[in-house]
Amino acid sequence: MMAEKGGYKHFMHKEIWEQPRAIADTLRGRMLLTEGDVHFDTWNLSQEQVKSFTKVTILACGTSWHSGVAGKHMIESLARLPVEVELASEFRYRDPIVEKSHLVIAISQSGETADTLGAFKEAKRLGAHTLAVCNVIGSAMTRESDLHILTNAGPEIGVASTKAFTTQLVTLYLLAVKLGRMRGTLSVEGAQEHLTHLTQVPKMIEEVLKCEPQVKRVAREFMNAQDFLFLGRGPMHPVALEGALKLKEISYIHAEGYAGGEMKHGPIALIDEKMPVVVIAPKQPHVAYEKIIGNIEEVRARGGKVIAILDEDDTQADTLADHVIRIPAACALLAPVVATIPLQLLAYHVAEMRGNDVDQPRNLAKSVTVE
Ligand code: G6P
């Protein structure tokens, strides 16, 4: 069993460390740097079709829904198409507006989640063009869709999703570049710049994984906390949601992910000296850096403990936080991939230190095939 886990104690830990390789597999053969374009083997949409789309609707559940929220930033920014991200479990039950000019994207690691599959079939029935972003080849969603793109993460065994999430983010980024090129909202040079950023991601993940000893110290200090708050703005908001979900799933500590600007509308009431607050604050456009620093100050003023995820060269915020975890600076749309890694490690080590069954957390299933 240990051999299957490649010497790691848990599949989740192995899968966290596999991410540089998994992301390289997601990118392999798809980046046409010279042309400033993206190649997907399965692609079957004409330029005319892509230009005729008026809206994108993303359907997903759980961690995959968080990728969808990050994907919205990518597609809106590069392809200038409005994107709505829907919880698949809600979609079918509320008379959704679906038109032939809509591209409906299902995101699912397994490709079998009943809620996502049901919503996806409904969107197809209503006439939308359907695209599935899945990890499992031959899964129901890949068969039901007009077009599917595989994330190529390799099998994920740990119930809490790690490499499936980051490879979904990278796949959505490739998709955003592809749509941007076909719609003419992204120039060849613009695409080349984005693709160059993408080539650097596996190396960046290798770099950021080196923060593990420090994350372990943070985990030891806060392993008995009752609640955690995760804050992020812009593209870091889904990272905050995912960090909180990961911690809840395997450590059973209550955690909430919030958009930084919403802290004053509720969660601020929870903050006292027992409350650890993880603030994801790389210095990027759309992350509203100065505002998130304001959030750190507000937490500190109430005695809360701040764990800040900051760019490696950020010297402004590090004096404010109780703990600083540094990440290599990535472009704004890719920073979620990099910033997620320390949060996965934090959840893993807290759960492991609490003696929990990390790979099989109570009450959860890897794939939920009932509604
Ligand atoms: C379950 C898993 C989650 C996953 C969600 C959606 O709840 O425990 O890790 O994010 O299903 O799964 P999918 O396979 O559709 O991505």
Per-chain mean pLDDT for the chain: 95
- Residues pairing with 280 in the sheet: 232, 309
**Alpha-carbon Rg for the chain in angstroms:** 20
Q: What is the DSSP string of 164-180?
A: HHHHHHHHHHHHHHHHH
Q: Which of 60-69, 249-258, 264-273 has the lowest mean pLDDT?
A: 264-273
Query: In this predicted structure, what is the pLDDT of residue 1?
Result: 60
Question: Largest Cα–Cα distance of the chain, in whole Å?
Answer: 57
Model confidence pLDDT, tens digit, residues 4-45 = 898 999 999 999 999 999 999 999 999 999 999 999 999 999
Q: How confident is the model at residue 3 (pLDDT cuts 50, 70, 90)?
A: low
N residues, the chain: 371
Closest ligand 1 atom to 164 CA:
16
The number of C-alpha atoms within 13 Å of 342 and in the hemisphere containing its C-beta is 34
Q: First vs last Cα of the chain: how many Å apart?
A: 32
**Which of 115, 150, 367, 369 should be mutated for ligand 1, with most atoms under 8 A from CB?**
367
The residue-averaged pLDDT of 311-335 equals 89
Rounded distance between C-alpha atoms, residue 32 and residue 307, angstroms? 39
Query: Which residues make beta-bridge pairs with 131?
Result: 105, 147
Q: Is the pLDDT of residue 367 over 80?
A: yes
Token representation of residue 259: 């958009």
Residue nearest (by alpha carbon) to ligand 1 atom 2: 366
Report the pLDDT averaged over residues 98-109: 97
Ligand 1 within 6 A of 167 CB? no
Banded model confidence at residue 219, pLDDT cuts 50, 70, 90: very high
Amino acid, single-letter form, for residue 68 = G
- Mean pLDDT on 183-200: 97
Confidence of residue 92 (pLDDT cuts 50, 70, 90): confident
The pLDDT value recorded for residue 241 is 98
Q: What percent of the chain has pLDDT over 90?
A: 88
Residues 173, 194 contacting (CB under 8 angstroms):
yes
Q: Which residues are catalytic?
A: 366
The CA–CA distances, whole Å, from 109 to 31, 121, 153, 164, 170 equal 22, 17, 9, 6, 13
Which ligand 1 atom is at minimum distance from the Cα of 160? 9
What was the pLDDT predicted at 284? Answer: 77
Q: Is 89 in the pocket of ligand 1 (CB under 6 A)?
A: no
pTM to 2 decimal places: 0.97
Please give the Cα distance from 27 to 14 (Å, whole number): 20
Of 156 and 331, the structure prediction assigns the larger pLDDT to 156
Average pLDDT rounded to a whole number, residues 137-165: 97
Contact 133, 75 (CB under 8 A): no
Q: What is the DSSP letter of 304?
A: P
pLDDT, position 2:
63
Q: Which amino acid is at 223?
A: M
Above 0.95 for ipTM, yes or no?
Answer: yes
Task: Indicate whether residue 113 lines ligand 1 (CB < 6 A).
Answer: yes
pLDDT band at 170 (very low <50, low <70, confident <90, very high): very high
List, in sequence order, the alpha helices (H) in 46-126: 47-52, 62-79, 88-91, 114-125
Instruction: Give me the mean pLDDT over the 90-95 stretch.
Output: 91
